[in-house]
A and B are shown apart, each in its own frame.
Chain A
Amino acid sequence: METRSSESPVRYMERTRQYYRALGYNNDYVWAHHDDAPFTRPSKPLSDCTVALITTAGPPDLSNRDERNRKHVWSGDVDSPPATFDTDLAWDKEATHTDDRETFLPIDAARRLEAEGVIGRLAPHFHGAPTDYSHGKTNEKDAPELLRRLREDKVDVAVLTAL
């Protein structure tokens, strides 16, 4: 274990607002905001649960994008994930890289926890969620589609990892 830093987390909303204003954009992005959150307790022990992984990365062939370059939900087989991913998103390209899939889609880590019996099983598919500027599209299209795909795999709990 490494020691904890006493530094405060980066305030990304403020940093992003200042950055986009400097780029010359006048309308600040409005992040989704809720004062509360839903809460569902697992219906069985984690060691009996089927666990799904959802990431924000895309497939290397960009097949999750339509002709207007809009992103859609995509899925892959956990036994044969692509060798590389589309990680053309807002992450810190000076401080790090995304060459190791396990840093944003921890399939191998989940397999190890499955072997240890910490989780029941890893769901057969992982999923890619669009990072969309439209809250409406996320809520009305992408989220219900992901729910449908998780139910198809009889998933009990989901781990969402945002690049």
Chain B
Amino acid sequence: MSLIARHLEANGIPTVVIGSAKDIVEHCGVPRFFFSDFPLGNPCGHPWTPDMQTETLRQALALLETAEAPGTTVRSPFEWKHDPEWRERYNRVRPEDRERLLAIGDERRRKRGQAARSDG
């Protein structure tokens, strides 16, 4: 998504990215980034909150007029719901998970191998 923003911008269409993976977006480098510090999936606001969603879009759009330089990040004023564990939980790898995760990976490789063979 960040690469697309760069392409549009380089071709004359100003852009703003709304997202939650701050490190990935900033690593790629985009003109303007409105950062929602939420779990991945709901960058434009909590589900079923029209007021928050409208305010999020309003503030993101404002960046188009206020940003003075590329690489401008503004953080949303909104917080995720009361769930103190979400940052730690996402895709975490605990010692007790290792065996299970490796089995998942093996299954994926097996299926992918089958698909590749059936593709010829």
Contact = CB atoms under 8 A, between A and B. Distances in A.
Which secondary structure characterizes the binding site on chain A? loop
A23 B90 contact: no
Nearest to B71: A37
Interface residues on A, range: 35 or more
A129 B27 CA distance: 19
Interface string A25-44: 10000011111111111100
Contact of B8 (A31, A113, A150): A150
B102 A22 contact: yes
Interface residues on B, range: 35 or more
Contact of A34 (B6, B19, B48): B6
A12 B29 contact: no
A161 B44 contact: yes
Contact of A159 (B12, B15, B20, B71): B15
A80 interface: no
Contact of B47 (A40, A97, A112, A147): A97
A32 B24 CA distance: 8
A96 B31 contact: no
Contacts of B11: 147
A83 interface: no
B15 A5 contact: no
Interface in B74-104: 75, 77-80, 83, 86-87, 89-93, 97-98, 101-102, 104
Given A37-B9, A98-B41, A144-B7, 11 more contacts: A10-B23, A31-B27, A40-B9, A91-B40, A94-B90, A95-B86, A102-B45, A118-B61, A138-B4, A157-B14, A162-B1
